Amino acid sequence: MIQLVPTARRSPARRVPFAVAAAAASSAAIVLLAAAPAHAAATVATLEGQDAANAANSLVGDHVSLASASLALGRAVQAGTVAGLDLALPAGPFAGVALSTGSLRAADPAASADVDFTSSSLVGPNAKLTTTGDLGGPGSALLESSFATTTYDAAELRLSVVPEGDSLTIVYHIGSEEYAGWAERDYTDAFGVYVDGRLCSTVGDVPAGVTSINADTRAQLYVSNLTAAGAPGTTDTEVNGYSVALTCTADVAPGQPVEVVAAVADTVDGQLDSTLLLAASGITSVPGPAQPSPSPSPSSTETVPTAAPAPVPASVNGPVATGTTKPGSPLAVTGVDSAALAAGAGLAVAAIGVGAAALVISRRRRTAREVSEQ
């Protein structure tokens, strides 16, 4: 059985300084890496060879668009895309983006900058229980505000996304070397997924992390990569334990930019790596139901059903009026012989014509109303 001795961890006062080298741009820019090539199928491409926006594009799922992305904290070796990572989960190998307190790739012996880490913090097999990249990096003020502790070697990926709906959902995993007994000694690295400044990555009412997800607490969310004797397990990842896929959801304003920050950092000291995984296509939104089109408002030009013109009574003498009418408007009479009206009994004919017109109008209105009531 492997015994872990707390004094093996380095205190904050003895942290290894960050090594700066002019020759950092080397063949390690894009690394397709396995800690043991004969066994691991996972591949990693760090941000040394791609920008954050390219990596973040893989995270965008249904009804969400990516506006911008940047690595706000951390070195380029601490962040990148991952594919084919076998976490022995029903959903199959993991793909997405990883953020680590160590390096996602192994050190390149030819790179003078690769002096603060040796092996990948993520890619398997699990070769040892104490994988550490002590990079000498700063902490995360955001995580420190949530966890009230000093942090080190932070990595923060900041995204601006635009959801179509009024909620935003993010799928993620946590993994850590702290699971090999160190959490019981209060070495609990900090993880956080924030939406517009609010911590979204919670289980129940507490932050998702090593102390809230483990073999004893919420064990249904935990996967151990240790043997019963406490030795490194056989799952093809370097981390000693990790979570199943976790989901956080936050209320947002539809169609408006939303800031998403994914962050991870060491606490207490810079020893033992922890990793936050964001699932490919795992940032999604669900639009609300489509709103019905407004009904057209009534207007003065709206027409109603019309009936056939009523015949002029036989008792009406004189020229017959011809023409058309518009429903709801006075009868339009055309074609009247004005000379006959003036020469003959014009007044009588006019009176009779008015009476006939009134009768027609009355019958039109009544017929139109009867039609509309059917």
pLDDT tens profile 300-355: 444 445 555 554 444 333 333 333 333 333 333 334 444 443 444 443 333 334 44
End position of a domain, from candidates 219, 249, 284: 284
Which 3 state secondary structure label does DSSP give 7?
helix
- Residue 150: inside a domain: yes
- Residue 34: inside a domain: yes
Q: Are residues 231 and 347 in the same domain?
A: no
Give the separation between CA 202 and CA 251, rounded to whole angstroms: 15
Looking at residue 229, its pLDDT comes to: 92
- Residue 259: inside a domain: yes
Residues 216-224 have a mean pLDDT of 95
Q: Are residues 195 and 104 in the same domain?
A: yes
Q: Are residues 247 and 336 in the same domain?
A: no
Q: Are residues 267 and 339 in the same domain?
A: no
- Residue 365: inside a domain: yes
Give the separation between CA 54 and CA 17, rounded to whole angstroms: 30
Q: Are residues 139 and 252 in the same domain?
A: yes
Q: Are residues 68 and 157 in the same domain?
A: yes
Q: Are residues 148 and 279 in the same domain?
A: yes
pTM: 0.70
pLDDT in tens, 184-219: 566 589 999 999 999 999 999 999 999 999 999 999
Residues 10-24 have a mean pLDDT of 39
For residues 255 and 70, the answer to whether their CB atoms sit within 8 Å is: no
pLDDT in tens, 36-51: 344 447 999 999 999 9
Looking at residue 28, its pLDDT comes to: 38
For residues 282 and 170, the answer to whether their CB atoms sit within 8 Å is: yes
- What's the domain range around 136? 8-284
Q: Are residues 106 and 245 in the same domain?
A: yes
pLDDT-wise least confident of 149-153, 188-192, 296-300, 360-364: 360-364
Instruction: Identify the helix (H) or strand (E) that includes residue 278.
Output: strand 274-284
DSSP string covering 25-88: SSTTSS----SSTTT---EEEETTSS-HHHHHHTTB-TTEEEEEEEEEES-GGGEEEEEEE---
For the chain, give the percent of residues with pLDDT over 90.
60
Alpha carbon 287 to its chain's center: 11
Give the separation between CA 225 and CA 87, rounded to whole angstroms: 9
- Residue 111: inside a domain: yes
Instruction: Identify the helix (H) or strand (E) that includes residue 368.
Output: helix 346-373
CA-to-CA separations, 41 to 29, 105, 263, 278, 354, in angstroms, rounded: 20, 14, 26, 19, 98
Q: Are residues 122 and 22 in the same domain?
A: yes
Looking at residue 288, its pLDDT comes to: 77
Q: Are residues 249 and 339 in the same domain?
A: no
pLDDT in tens, 102-126: 999 999 999 988 999 999 999 999 9
- Residue 292: inside a domain: no
Comparing 182 with 331, which gets the higher pLDDT?
Answer: 182
Tally the domains of the chain: 2
Q: Are residues 311 and 186 in the same domain?
A: no
Which 3 state secondary structure label does DSSP give 14?
helix
Q: Are residues 20 and 69 in the same domain?
A: yes
For residues 12 and 270, the answer to whether their CB atoms sit within 8 Å is: yes
Give the separation between CA 269 and CA 211, rounded to whole angstroms: 17
**Residue 369 predicted with pLDDT over 80:** no
Comparing 260 with 332, which gets the higher pLDDT?
Answer: 260
- Residue 299: inside a domain: no
- Residue 290: inside a domain: no
pLDDT in tens, 62-79: 999 999 999 999 999 999
Quote the tokens at residue 130. Answer: 């104490």
